[in-house]
Amino acid sequence: MEVLLALLVVNLGGLALAEKRAVTTPTVCEEKLKTLTQKVDILLRQLQLQQMFIAERTRTDGGSGIKQARWGAIGTRPYHTSSHNMNWIAGGIFPHSQARDYFVTSGTSAVLNGVEFRMAGQGLMMYRPGQTFKSPRRRLPLPAVPPQVLAKKTVPEQVAEMKEWFKAWRDQNYKVRDYRKYFKPVLCYLEGKWLKSQGDDKLPFSQSFLSNEERARYQAYSGAIPLERHAFKPTSIVDFENGKPVFATWDYRILCHPVNQDIPTSTFRLVDDLSIRTPRRWTMDQLSRQMLANFQLNPLNRPWKENSEFADSDYEFLDQLMSQVPGPNNYDGKLYDDAFSKPTHPFTATTDKAAKLNTAFYHRWSKISQTGTGSLKARHRGFSDNTVFMAQTSQPSVAGMKVEECNFVGGKKVCKSYEQRWSYAIPLFITYITPLSSWNPYGLTIHTKLGYNDRTVFTGGRNGGFTTAKAYNGTSYNFYYTIPTEFFGSPQRGAAAPKGVLDPNGGLRKVSTGGLHSILPNIPGVGALRQTYPIFPIHGEGSTAWKEYEALADLVLKRKTHANMFLEPLQNI
């Protein structure tokens, strides 16, 4: 009893104490909360500045471009391993010929305006941007088959006529047959932008985001191979709204623009790459016939002359091509960049009376009016990034950035604030879509929908064999076998090896793929023609060390041109 009473007393005393605390603690708590909130704000700001520090560092480490392809092979010299190229394919990106208009990315890392990210390894259809602000991306238009080919009654005659068109294209001789209407260059590019996090709390931590992030982290942590297909897209704090951080996630996509003019193949020049040539002891000519080759467009859209360089080029042919490519506002986009009261004009403008630049399309160069003088001054976007193209957008999903401009007007401070949204792009490759993409002389059924429709091609163990039981039942966008194999000389092996396909009457046809290639399979009497020209920039090229290395490579490889530079005369070596 006494013990119980004692406990009760103690308990009561405890209660009293608690009551006393309840009166005094809120102020302590509030104070703590206040300092904590302050500290969190400071930390968030510093986190944002830290991100900027990393991006700024990347921006001066190199330009926008392909940085590193994934592991491919190893060896005893550093150049035996993958660089911006995988061991067999430039940039790790290439068209996949089995399907109609399809290409593959193999997990390459890239940098766009200081943001480094990793593309997933995946197969992708080629799409072009939508037309209107809201319309989705669309399939590429395919060129028609020349009517002169279709006019031929038999398949062997059509094959012979089609070869003449390929000869004309090979020789770039549009006087014999005007191939320019039927061989259409398509410019495929990598586009990146910051997307605002959706939802009420505006946190990037949605379920799908988290699982992606977890897998990317796990892949990096464990080096796991099965997750190789995984993209890494960084996140960032882009803004503060009412003291709350606004997050954004990096997003990229590869789209293709059907170029609205012919690009003569003589405007491409092979780019030397010693890390490819040295281990294989290839000449430049050998390199030019490989899928590892990367090319450069002549800045003036002219055939390249031997040893010609342009030490002071500005608005190049590539700028002209990229200016046809819209940012996320799509082809109908119309925006102007008037920030800091300096309207942006096209680089080609000569006075500030000229129309303003439509910044909804990709550009590097522009001209800014000089206040009061009427004259224009050339501008290139980015600090030292020679390869980044930028487009303005008003898509609300893209994270914007605000800035305030203050001026003194009549002794009064007048401030104006701007918000702009931008996306970034680099060219990846130009592929010529040829009439092979739409030539179907056997009238084979082409299933255009995926799923069941597509499955009738191969269900029942059909594998493209040469019996009526094993042949594909028709074709589809994914199994695009439409070309009479005689066109490629009926090869047994390689990219043009035929498959058996049933025509609508149940007849067995031997057909090769009508899809896109890096280099077309040999066409007897015509040759093995390049269909795709990679033209991507390399991140490292923008670094100071790479510039010195390129100068050294030129010095070593062109000793005659640079003979006067050697400190010890060459003949004494």
Ligand X SMILES: *[C@@H]1O[C@H](CO)[C@@H](O)[C@H](O)[C@H]1NC(C)=O
**Cβ contacts of residue 56 below 8 Å, gap of 6+?**
114
The yes or no reply on residue 473 touching ligand X (CB under 6 A) is yes
Tell me the pairing of strands 389-393 and 412-433: antiparallel
Q: Is 19 helix (H, G, I), strand (E, B) or coil?
A: helix
The CB-of-474 to ligand X minimum distance in angstroms stands at 6
Q: Is residue 555 within 8 Å of residue 126, measured between CB atoms?
A: no
Assess 394 for contact with ligand X (CB under 6 A).
no
CB of 459 to ligand X, least distance (A): 8
What three-state secondary structure class fits 451? coil
Q: What minimum distance in Å lies between the beta carbon of 226 and ligand X?
A: 35
Min CB(470)–ligand X separation in Å: 11
Phi first, then psi: give them for residue 160, nearest 5 degrees: -60, -45
* Min CB(471)–ligand X separation in Å: 9
Among 301, 456, 490, 543, binds ligand X (CB under 6 A): 456
Of 58 and 473, nearer to ligand X (C-beta) is: 473
C-beta closer to ligand X: residue 278 or 453: 453
| Contact of 362 with 64, CB cutoff 8 Å | no
Cβ pair 287, 293 in contact under 8 A: yes
Stated as kind and residue range, the H or E segment containing 42 is: helix 2-61
Distance, in Å, from the CA atom of 523 to the CA atom of 503, rounded to the nearest integer, reads 24
CA distance linking residue 427 with residue 294, whole number of Å: 12
Closest CA to 94 of 123, 65, 64, 129: 123
In the complex, minimum distance from the CB of residue 473 to ligand X, in angstroms, rounded to a whole number: 4
In angstroms, the CA 430 to CA 428 distance is: 7
CB of 525 to ligand X, least distance (A): 35
Neighbours of 214 (CB within 10 A): 10
Closest distance to ligand X from the beta carbon of 445 (Å): 6
Q: Which is nearer to ligand X, 474 or 534 (CB)?
A: 474
Q: Which is nearer to ligand X, 361 or 480 (CB)?
A: 480
Binding mask 398-427 for ligand X (x = CB under 6 A): ------------------------------
Residue 345: count other Cβ atoms within 10 Å of its Cβ.
Answer: 24
Residue nearest to ligand X (CB): 473
Rounded to whole angstroms, the Cα distance separating 479 from 447 reads 9
Residue located via tokens 């939802």:
199
Which residue lies nearer to ligand X by CB, 447 or 539? Answer: 447
**Residue nearer to ligand X on the CB measure, 473 or 518:** 473
On whether the CB atoms of residues 515 and 98 are closer than 8 A, the answer is yes
Distance between CA 384 and CA 387 in Å, rounded? 9
Taking the least distance from each CB to ligand X, the nearer of 383 and 466 is: 466
Kindly tell me which of 335 and 444 has the beta carbon lying closer to ligand X: 444
Number of residues that bind ligand X (CB under 6 A): 3
User: Toward ligand X, which CB reaches closer, 69 or 501?
Assistant: 501
CB of 507 to ligand X, least distance (A): 11
Rank residues 147 and 460 by Cβ distance to ligand X and give the closer one: 460
Smallest gap from residue 506 Cβ to ligand X (A): 6
Rounded Cα distance between 472 and 481, Å, is 9
**Residue 475 binding ligand X, by CB under 6 A:** no
Q: Which residues pair with 244 in a beta bridge?
A: 241
Structure tokens of 63? 């330009």
Other Cβ atoms within 10 Å of 222 Cβ, number: 9
Rule CB under 6 A: which residues touch ligand X?
456, 473-474
